Structure 1
Amino acid sequence: MTEEVTRVPLPDRNKGEMFAIVDKILGGSRMIVMCADGKSRMARIPGKIKRRMWIKEGDLVIIRPWEFQDEKADVIYRYTRTQASHLSKSNKLPELLDVFGK
């Protein structure tokens, strides 16, 4: 029995994207996230993915900080629990955000 390889998107460092974990849901498609660089930012879900992405506290997401306001960001992608634990096991997550157990 062979294990199926799942491909998960990774943050594009050239565009400034990074991993983050959702700390608190604020409502109105806004949330507070803890980012891989150690900063806490207010993130929002852009309109084109708002209804496709249901995000809870503790979820691993990819964010892109705004160029003109570094304390705010847009959510690009949300990982499922399985994808997050796979990234954790393959050591792709930074130590600060690795809460998904090994």
Structure 2
Amino acid sequence: MLATVGSLLGSKRVNLQCMDGVVRMGRIPGSKNKKMWIREGDIVIATPWEIQDSKADVIWKYTRPQIEWLERKGYLK
């Protein structure tokens, strides 16, 4: 699910505004921590937890050309 990073919480955690309208606390897994530098306003893919719907894992960060393509195709408003 696509999400926008709202704020950085520290300790590999972020607030995510997901496309379904739910604000979730996102976690950046250790394998992606050093490879993805995430800032406020970035577009990411988040997978909600099965146990707690209010939390999610960040699995991918889109680059600027990818975001422009998503906007042209109508995935982002």
Q: Which letter does structure 2 place at the counterpart of 1:20?
A: A
Please tell me the root mean square deviation across aligned C-alpha atoms, in Å: 0.7
Partner of 2:47: 64
Task: Find the structure with the greater CA-based Rg.
Answer: 1
Unaligned 5+ runs, structure 2: none
Q: Which letter does structure 1 place at the counterpart of 2:43?
A: L
1:73 pairs with one of 48, 56, 63: 56
Q: Greater RCO between the two (CA within 8 Å, min separation 6)?
A: 2
For residues 92 and 61 of structure 1, the distance between their equivalents in structure 2, rounded to whole angstroms, comes to 13
TM-score (structure 2 length as normaliser): 0.96
- State the secondary structure of the residue aligned to 2:57: strand
From the two aligned structures, give the one with the greater strand fraction: 2
Unaligned 5+ runs, structure 1: 1-17
TM-score (structure 1 length as normaliser): 0.73
Percent of aligned pairs with the same residue?
Answer: 51
